Structure 1
Amino acid sequence: MNDSFPPHDPADPLGPGSYFERTRRPIVCLAFLAPLLAAYEAGVVWLASRGEPALLGAGGWLRWSLAEAGAGAAFALPAVVAAILLSWNFYGHHRWEVRWDTLGGMLGESLLAASLLIAAALGVHALIGADGGEAAAVTVDLAEDATAEAPRSAAANLVGAIGAGVYEELLFRLALLPLAYGLFRLLRCGPGGAAALAVVSSSLLFALCHHLGPHGEAPTLAPFLFRAGAGGVLAALFWWRGFGVAVGAHAAYDLMAGVLLAG
């Protein structure tokens, strides 16, 4: 019995070696994410040199954890991501080929998925806003630090959006989804039921984390439900289109919502 997540490999409509198969290879995902990882780490160092507040969200949590363990926090995070994807590619017996047209297609998919999420978020905002009151304050930002007490610069928002895309997907999709699936299988759920429960539980936790801690948003139903739904969409992207596209869509969404549409 194979209890890995997803329980079955998604069907490849064009056969082995097609674009749809290549985008799910861990080495291709790493090549796609390398510019985001480099930009985030360089941005963190640059912001620190300007005395900007420490970054929050998943990147901040992981950086703090590694620093507490004694690791070189400035460089350990991208090394961890690279090690995970390289090991996955090696032990999964995936090919090591990376093609430019594949990376370009992944960028296009990420932007398309992010645009659809933006349209959905703005639709929810307009629908709830029609009733007025506190419910109208629906945010379209998926990053945890969207309501930090001190105003943040556009550069800090940009770096935070990149970090959220990479490290929230690392935590909630690449790590938590398989762990939740394995747990539900241990509880004797069938493969389909365990996969569904893993997606739902990880998406709810993803939404909940935005309302926790001193910088979390005040708990309101509409943002929570939207983020839970977005978590489900990102889980589907992770399953069907691969880790790279899920990260790209998340980062592009946060860049559009938190930087381009801010204010």
Structure 2
Amino acid sequence: MSKRIKQRKRHSTSQLLNFAKDSYLDRTSRPIYAIIFLLPFIIFYEVGTILINTDTLNQSQVRVVAFVWLQNLLEYMGSSDKLAWVAPPVAVVIILVALQLSSRKPWGFSLIDLCPMGIECILLAVPLIVLSLFLNSPPEPKDDIDRFGNNAKQYRMASGLSHDSKLETYNTNYDKIVLSCSSITGNSLLAATTETDSGEVKSDSLWASIITGIGAGIYEELVFRLILICILMLFFQDLLRFSHKNSIILSVLVSAALFSAHHHIVFVNGQLALSAAFNGTEFGFRTIAGVYFAVLFAIRGFGITAGTHAFYDIIATVINAAFFSSGN
């Protein structure tokens, strides 16, 4: 028993590595840095989604699925409907403050570190961009018309398939060569802008994808890394009595698989919906991405991980729009 208690204390923090005290890596892995670094992203996402939903003039709102889950949970716990849009970001801040308190690490921060954190997130997103381009590159042979047509469908982002459900997946009009790591609900922006020219539609779709990609970086990492991995660790290590090492491996793999699966099948407001046709390459890539984010979370903390996820989605959206859009 005493051995297990010592083991819990040894692994009580989220970081696998202990960096030199008060170094850049040590400072920026603290939860307080995650709050300061992610606050502009949270505000940008909230304001941006309000603007998106105002433009579409639809009751159905374009939101990140993980955001809706958190929203529904808070409403179930008694949160007011008037606070529905404010409660999730406030919950993120409260969770990070609680982690900062429990870590007993210094509360001080330096604004000078924020720029290097952004650069670090961009650099950490590059390997996933390269992997996505490699796995999802179009096949060279084009003589088989049927095969070419099927591959073209595979690389389209506009693939809303669940029209029988009240829940539809929000997609853009760009070819998906660089795969997205965000799962989104809401009516298509294109359906609400049929009277505008194609340039405006693409511009709106581009901004909508950037905004929701930022939200996915924050709320998907909160759900699938910060919350789910902790729950899985309790399940495997404390309930099933697996070793700490095996519990970590299983928690990372299960959370990564669920992270990938929720980009194909989503459960929101008591309904299951098919958000995208299952594709082995896409599922495999997002599972690898889930493992990558989990390892990053364990080493660098929530702020860098969420920032990397957000920047990945932003870069993927821009690359798809600039080089692989159907208009090019």
TM-score using structure 2 length: 0.73
Q: Residue by residue, what CA displacement relative to the aligned partner does 1:164-193 show, whole Å, maximum 9, x if unpaired?
A: 010000000010011111111021111111
Q: What is residue 204 of structure 1 aligned with on the other side? A: 257
Farther-moved stretch of structure 1 (143-152 vs 175-184): 143-152
Which deviates more from structure 2 when the two are superposed, residues 214-223 or residues 131-140? 131-140
Please give the residue correspondences for 1:8-19 in structure 2 after superposition, counting only pairs within 5 Å: 9-13=15-19, 15-19=20-24
Deviation string 1:82-108 (CA, Å, 9 cap, x unpaired) is 101111111221110111232222111
What is the aligned length? 261
| Superposition CA RMSD, Å | 2.5
Q: 1:218 aligns with which of 277, 291, 295?
A: 277
Pair 1:253 & 2:312 matched:
yes
1:48-87 matches, cutoff 5 A = 48-50=53-55, 51=57, 53-56=60-63, 57-67=65-75, 69-71=78-80, 72-87=83-98
Normalized per residue, the structure richer in helix is 1
| 2:247 equivalent in structure 1 | 194
Q: Separation in 1 of the partners of 2:314 and 2:303?
A: 16
Using a 3 Å threshold, how does the CA distance of structure 1 residues 12 and 260 change in structure 2: closer, same or farther? Answer: same
Could you tell me how far apart the structure 2 residues matched to 1:135 and 1:160 are? Answer: 26
Name the structure 2 match of 1:243.
302
Structure 1 stretches of 5 or more lacking a match?
A: none
- 1:47: Cα distance to partner? 2.1
2:127 equivalent to 1:120: no
Q: What corresponds to 2:115 in structure 1? A: 104
Contact 2:256 2:290 in 1 (8 A): yes
Name the CA distance, whole Å, in 2 between partners of 1:47 and 1:147: 11
For the Cα contact (< 8 Å) 1:54–1:60, is it kept in 2?
Answer: no
Residue deviations 1:150-176, cap 9 Å, x none?
Answer: 637223212211110100000000100
Structure 1 residue matching 2:22: 3-state secondary structure:
coil
**1-side partners of 2:54 and 2:84: how far apart?**
16
- Same amino acid, percent of matched pairs: 30
Any unmatched runs of 5+ in structure 2?
142-146, 156-175, 191-203, 267-272
Identify which of 85, 88, 97 aligns with 2:99. Answer: 88
Question: Structure 1 18/48 Cα, relative in aligned 2: closer, same or farther at 3 Å?
Answer: same
Per-residue Cα deviation, 1:62-88 (whole angstroms, up to 9, x for no partner):
234434544311211111011011111
Runs of 4 or more off by more than 4 Å in structure 1? 4-9, 130-133, 146-150
TM-score, normalising length: structure 1: 0.89
User: Secondary structure of the residue that 2:89 maps to in structure 1?
Assistant: helix
1:119-144 deviation digits (Å, cap 9, x = unpaired): 11001112x63475546725411111
Q: Is the Cα–Cα contact under 8 Å of residues 34 and 302 in structure 2 kept in the other structure?
A: yes
Contact 1:146–1:258 (CA under 8 A) maintained in structure 2:
no
Indicate if the aligned counterparts of 2:265 and 2:274 stay in contact, CA closer than 8 A.
Answer: yes
1:178 aligns with 2:189: no
Q: Report the equivalent of 2:292.
A: 233
